[in-house]
């Protein structure tokens, strides 16, 4: 393939909207060998699968074994790959060039799944910075797999979560200064690092409220609403 054609294909990758690229892939309108497809879409085009019978409560260990199999068999070199436990379904995302291998694996193991789809993020913050989040999600997914092989069989889940959130909050403290959030602490005699603990507490309340809303736990919601009104 000549240099000019190579440049044109990569330019097309940058200017084509994701919906058009997905349409071309989904309907197989791009003919030819796989390496041409991979050249056009490279690793930037991320697809997702929803696995419907992958992680029932009694099957969660089996589900994780499948996830590890996919990682070591196909996805170890994919910088975009990650998975998320959603209860029903489990979501697995990967670069487009690995999607066919995953589909074949699901078929071979009779795992009910949706056909691949373009990753369309519903969360505003994730959608805004999706190119960054895909790397964060990837690394945390790999971390869970690596921790599962700890020699002492200790997953260190709490410690790992603390490290990840702790570092991000220390990085974000500069934004808190810019936004004026730290002056209130100074006025009340607190040291700046107290802001991190405050954010941790708010995160706990937010997640508890969010889970209560999803699961329909009205009593939990009511209790948290009362706490919020008290704080106000």
Pairwise pLDDT comparison (103 vs 89), residue with the higher score: 103
Rounded Cα distance between 115 and 215, Å, is 27
Residue 166 has pLDDT above 70, yes or no: yes
Whether 99 and 151 share a structural domain: yes
Taking the C-alpha atoms of residue 135 and residue 116, their distance in angstroms, rounded to an integer, is 20
136 and 166 both lie in a single domain: no
Residue 133, pLDDT score = 94
Q: Could you tell me the CATH number of the domain that includes residue 85?
A: 3.30.70.980
Please tell me whether the overall predicted TM-score, pTM, comes out greater than 0.75 for this model.
no
For 43-80, how does the pLDDT look when each residue is reduced to its tens digit (9 = 90+)?
568 999 998 866 556 677 788 889 999 999 999 999 99
E-state strands within 1-158? 46-51, 82-85, 90-95, 117-118
What is the percentage of the chain residues whose pLDDT exceeds 70? 68
Q: How many domains does the chain have?
A: 3
- Which among 138, 137, 160 is positioned nearest to 150, based on CA atoms? 160
Of 128, 155, 182, the residue at which a domain comes to its end is 155
Segments forming the whole domain that contains residue 19: 1-42
Q: Are residues 150 and 48 in the same domain?
A: yes
In this predicted structure, which of 26-35, 100-109, 182-191 has the lowest mean pLDDT? 26-35
- Do 47 and 145 have their domain in common? yes
Q: How confident is the model at residue 2 (pLDDT cuts 50, 70, 90)?
A: very low
Q: Is residue 36 pLDDT above 50, yes or no?
A: no
| 99 and 187 together in one domain | no
Where in 75-198 does DSSP place strands (E)?
82-85, 90-95, 117-118
């Amino acid at each position: 393939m000549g240099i000019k054609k190579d440049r044109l294909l990569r330019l097309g990758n940058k200017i084509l909207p994701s919906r058009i690229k997905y349409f071309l892939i989904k309907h197989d309108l791009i003919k030819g060998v796989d390496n041409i497809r991979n050249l056009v879409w490279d690793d930037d085009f991320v697809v997702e699968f929803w696995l419907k019978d992958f992680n029932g409560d009694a099957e969660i260990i089996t589900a994780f074994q499948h996830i590890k199999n996919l990682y070591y068999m196909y996805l170890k070199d994919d910088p975009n790959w990650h998975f998320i436990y959603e209860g029903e379904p489990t979501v697995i995302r990967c670069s487009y060039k690995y999607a066919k291998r995953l589909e074949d694996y699901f078929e071979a193991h009779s795992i009910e799944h949706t056909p691949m789809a373009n990753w369309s993020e519903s969360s505003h913050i994730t959608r805004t910075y999706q190119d960054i989040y895909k790397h964060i999600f990837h690394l945390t997914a790999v971390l869970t797999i690596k921790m599962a092989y700890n020699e002492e069989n200790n997953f260190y889940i709490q410690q790992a979560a603390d490290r990840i959130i702790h570092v991000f909050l220390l990085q974000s403290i500069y934004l808190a200064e810019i936004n004026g959030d730290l002056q209130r602490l100074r006025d009340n005699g607190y040291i700046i690092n107290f802001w991190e603990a405050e954010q941790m507490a708010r995160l706990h309340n937010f997640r508890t409220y969010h889970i209560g809303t999803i699961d329909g736990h009205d009593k939990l919601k009511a209790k948290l609403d009362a706490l919020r009104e008290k704080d106000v």
